[in-house]
Chains A and B, each alone.
Chain A
Amino acid sequence: MNFDFSDDQKQLRDQARKFLAEKCSPKAVRVVLDGKAPYDKELWKGLAEMGFLGVAIPEDFGGAGAGHLELCVIAEEMGRANAPVPFSSTVYLAAEALLIAGSAAQKKKWLPAIASGDAIGTLALFEGKGNPAPKNVKLAAANGVLNGVKKPVADGTIADFAVVAARTGSSGRDSDISLFLVDLKAGGVEVKSLTNLDPTRGQAEIIFKDCKAEPLGAAGEGWSILTQVLDRAAVLCAFEQVGGSDRALEMGRDYALDRIAFGRQIGSFQAVKHMLADMYVSATLARSNSYYGAWALSTNAAELPEAAAAARISATQAFQHCAKNNIQVHGGMGFTWEFDCHMYYRRANAMALGLGSLSYWEDQLIDRMRKKNAA
């Protein structure tokens, strides 16, 4: 047993951290935050050149062919830097869906384009309120065309293609749902930008009107593929959340050492020390749950569904906890636009919803634990 990343993987993490410290400073994030660009194009290009976008994509399809553990360590750094790029939509959701269910031709068309930074992808799943569930998919697919509305779609305004969940049956079963690949630059697609909690990551409403689409995976298999994609993305997002938690904790710690009140560093007051200690505790529990998820993801273990849900819940809680208490440690300064605290607070709360909310994953976890106990 060895429950840690290898030296090579840690080296990759250091490399990614160094790269992002240089290319993705809070100042660079603010360019997107302030609405001056929809995402950081230069950073995206740089990530492609470093091989980070295709790290888990096989070499045959233009990737580095390293693996998911490598992707996990990069994800952590993306979260730590609060990177304003469509990494999770493209790499965790679109690429993973293609890897799991894409035909050889689809993989050949899109995966190399993802790895090289030439194509941005996303998953169009939600249709307003509600969590991932077959009954919440109303967008209809018939005769190779889609009709309906998806919202919110992460990075929908900048994506080149989308994996779209659509209804192809009315039996009331999971097999009513199928997946489709849509070239968003082609006809029949209307995209509207939505304001959202985290302006460093865009959200869109996408209207499909007689939009041509090609099936992704077998008809009726959509829900089963989606479940796998969401589980994988849950683990990868958990690493982003762990990176974000650690950064928020560090910011709070540094400020507590720096700021003097009542003649002392505020970090010498137990009320502040204990708040930071609790942030460390939740970040550590999240990290440990995420490592288990990483192991399950990288080995495609039978434990993946349960491990993914646990990592998702733990990391979501930790990031929200650390981000909000980082602001509390900063006092009034933490609530200003000028300080960076709110960027992590926004990201933490947006990420808590993106793959389905906390209560959805709580429900999933208990279902999966019951299934395991029954087996």
Chain B
Amino acid sequence: MNFDDTPQEAEFRAIARAWIGANAPKQYEEDLRKSSLGRTALKNADILDVAKAWQKKKADAGWACLHWPKEYGGRGSSPIERVIWQQEEGPFGQLSRMFIIGHGMCGPTMMAFAREEHKRTYLPPLASGEKVWCQLFSEPAGGSDLAGLRTRAEKDGDDWVINGQKIWTSGAHYSDYGILLTRTDPTVPKHKGLTMFFLDMKSPGVEVRPIKQASGASDFNEVYFTNVRIPDHQRLGEVGDGWNVSLTTLMNERSAIGAAVSTGFPELFEYCSSLMLDDGPAIEDRAVRSKLANWAVKASGLKYTSMRAISALSRGERPGPENSIGKLVAGSMIQDVATYALDLQGAAGVVSGEDAELAGRFQAMLLRAPGTRVEGGTDEIMRNIIAERVLGLPGDIRVDKDVPFNKIPTKGR
């Protein structure tokens, strides 16, 4: 057991640190350091522009998508190197959130299922941030029950014609491409009639409508498809094999190892260290300390769980469903942390935005947090995954499993 860098790791760290020191957009460091879940805003700049510029700079110097192969615009680095990079990149790493869907999910799915010529055409500009990708999966009728989706794809000559609607699509409003899961055969059970494609988001018939969230921000969208044509060569995997293709995507989503999960704890600890309560400093209050300690061990537990996973990865082991715990624990923790930070503010906690304590940092966190517990699989789905795949408990009873999709009831009584 060893936390120190090996000589090679130390060398990699030194090179990365020097390059970041010389190239990172330092004028935004303070803003990025103070941002937290629910609020990553830059003064006097559009975050997408800044993110794209930083990503391009990294790509030109060979620092983009460290885990991807070089021929597709990555660096072919080891998992440990990826962690070292993240440690060194620090707050500037927040900028890559704009590309997380593309780099973490769409890219790996393309690598696994696209034709070689498409990989060479589409992956490098994705890695460099010049093109942004989104993932068109969830629908009003299919969120946790993803295989219940209804967007139709029908063959017409060499094309497929798409009609339907997606929802909760992160970043669709600034995306150039997307991967799209559709139903190509409604007469077979739901998991068997799906097919995956990728498409140009500027295709005629694609309409993106941002959704205003509970927080007031708009990170997600509804996307409507009206007779959108996709050439057959943009199909990913076999016709009817879309479910398996999507599992690859989701596996990558949930095993995005090393991606530091936000828990809200560092923010709360920092806040309590300076906050004065009626009876003195918050950090000296018995009740506050007990709360902090409980969250501290969750935050450190997650950190070291991910380090254990990275160690397993470096030995060539595949990460398992164990990683589901990161999102499960962090999601409700950040919600509780935000609630508690506002409790400490008393009546003033109700004020949000720039007029609020710390410019509304915890208020923004509170309003964004419910989304964290739902996106990428709800808490309940995460618990099912752990119970079924780690502990080997029986799967939920699925009454629609062997029923043709078009015979499944769609409404309750």
Contacts and interface: CB of A to CB of B under 8 A. Distances in A.
Interface of A: 1-6, 69, 249, 253, 256-257, 264-265, 267-268, 270, 272-274, 276-278, 280-281, 284-286, 288-289, 291-292, 294-295, 298, 309-310, 313-314, 317, 359, 361-363, 365-366, 369-370, 373
Indicate the member of B5, B303, B386 with the most A CB atoms within 10 Å.
B386
A3 B304 contact: yes
A3 B310 contact: yes
A2 B393 CA distance: 31
A204 B59 CA distance: 67
Contacts of B392: 253, 257
Interface string B21-40: 00000000000000000000
A240 to B, nearest CB: 17
A2 B1 contact: yes
Indicate the member of B1, B289, B393 with the most A CB atoms within 10 Å.
B1
B251 to A, nearest CB: 19
Indicate the member of A281, A363, A365 with the most B CB atoms within 10 Å.
A281
B9 to A, nearest CB: 7
Given A267-B393, A281-B325, A289 B292 contact: no
A373 to B, nearest CB: 7
Indicate the member of B269, B302, B391 with the most A CB atoms within 10 Å.
B391
| Cβ-closest 9 pairs across A and B | A285-B301, A362-B293, A288-B304, A273-B387, A268-B394, A277-B383, A277-B386, A314-B297, A267-B393
Q: Is the interface of A mostly helix, strand, loop or mixed?
A: helix
Contacts of B283: 366, 370
B296 A1 contact: no
Contacts of A294: 1
B285 to A, nearest CB: 10
Contact of A3 (B294, B301, B311): B311
A292 B2 CA distance: 10
A280 B386 contact: yes
Interface string B305-345: 10110111010000000100100110000000000000000
A1 B195 CA distance: 42
B298 interface: yes
Contacts, number: 156
A365 B307 CA distance: 21
A281 B329 contact: yes
B301 A4 contact: no
A257 B387 CA distance: 11
29 contacts: A1-B4, A2-B2, A2-B311, A3-B307, A4-B1, A6-B1, A253-B392, A257-B393, A268-B393, A272-B393, A273-B393, A276-B387, A276-B393, A277-B384, A281-B329, A281-B386, A284-B301, A284-B325, A285-B298, A285-B301, A285-B325, A285-B329, A288-B307, A289-B300, A295-B2, A314-B300, A363-B286, A365-B293, A366-B293
Given A1-B80, A310-B300, A366-B292, A277 B396 contact: no
Indicate the member of B314, B325, B392 with the most A CB atoms within 10 Å.
B325
Contact of A1 (B9, B297, B322): B9
B388 interface: yes
A363 B314 CA distance: 37
A366 B298 CA distance: 14
B31 to A, nearest CB: 22
Given A274-B383, A362-B294, 16 more contacts: A1-B6, A256-B393, A257-B393, A264-B394, A268-B394, A268-B395, A268-B397, A273-B384, A276-B393, A277-B387, A281-B328, A284-B325, A310-B296, A314-B297, A314-B300, A314-B301
B77 interface: no
A292 B304 contact: yes
A287 to B, nearest CB: 8
B390 interface: yes
B330 to A, nearest CB: 11
A253 B3 contact: no
Given A310-B300, A362-B293, A365-B293, A274 B311 contact: no
